[in-house]
Amino acid sequence: MSGDWLVRIGKPAERPVLRLLCLPHAGGGPSLFRSWANALPPGVELVAAQLPGRDRRLAETPCRDSDTIIKGIVRAALALPSVPLALYGHSLGAALALDLAVSLTQAKVPLALVTVAARAAPHLPPRRAPLSPLADHAFLQAVGAMGGTPREALEHEELMALLLPVLRADFFLSEGFVRPPAPAIKCPLLAVTGCNDPFVAEADMRAWSLFAANRFRFETLEAGHFFAQSHRDDILRLIFEETGCTSFPVRSALCQEAS
């Protein structure tokens, strides 16, 4: 569907009213959101970005140029039937979601919502030294310490030989992504963070408000940094509240102090 940049997850809706487009964290692919398809209400379709070097594009060279990625996803999105689109980006995906929202708006694609998760606003200085320049062993150790890559994968030499170029390209993209604060997102903007995220402070996430030209909402979850799977239902509930799908019945894990 729509070239290699987007893949549909789950069945297409008969009468779609909303399409949710997900962008994964560094090293991730569409499979990160596979379980999300089981929790969608009728009328909501799910697609995910598939970047070179992973999943069905495993044989391709990972991409280090965000413009190429955005152009590819926009072309794929324009090839789909016109339905209001909601974006969800996690960590690196949140950075890409900003540029993608701008490009989709310029292309007259109707955007219902942009959700950014687990990523400091892109005008803020980094809180740690970049990992991408490190030698292979040190780089993999540092990535493993972040907790998003299973230990079994890190200890599998052949698998790591395949994943290392992807991880390096993604961290290069993420660590080099800087944008000046400007009200660039014309639709509502939702920022979601984990109360226990060791890499992103609450103030870093609240600063996304500077990129909102419309409604801005901030929420925290009882989670760390990698919560796209563990807190799927809470993320979807927030997204559907903001897009009008308010009948999504899930248990909430929102922090009580969130606002």
**Catalytic residue numbers?**
91, 225
Residues sharing a CB contact under 8 Å with residue 25, sequence separation 6 or more, in sequence order:
32, 90, 91, 92, 93, 118, 148, 226, 228
Q: In what order do the strands lie in the sheet with 189-194?
A: 6-8, 44-49, 18-23, 85-90, 111-117, 189-194, 216-221
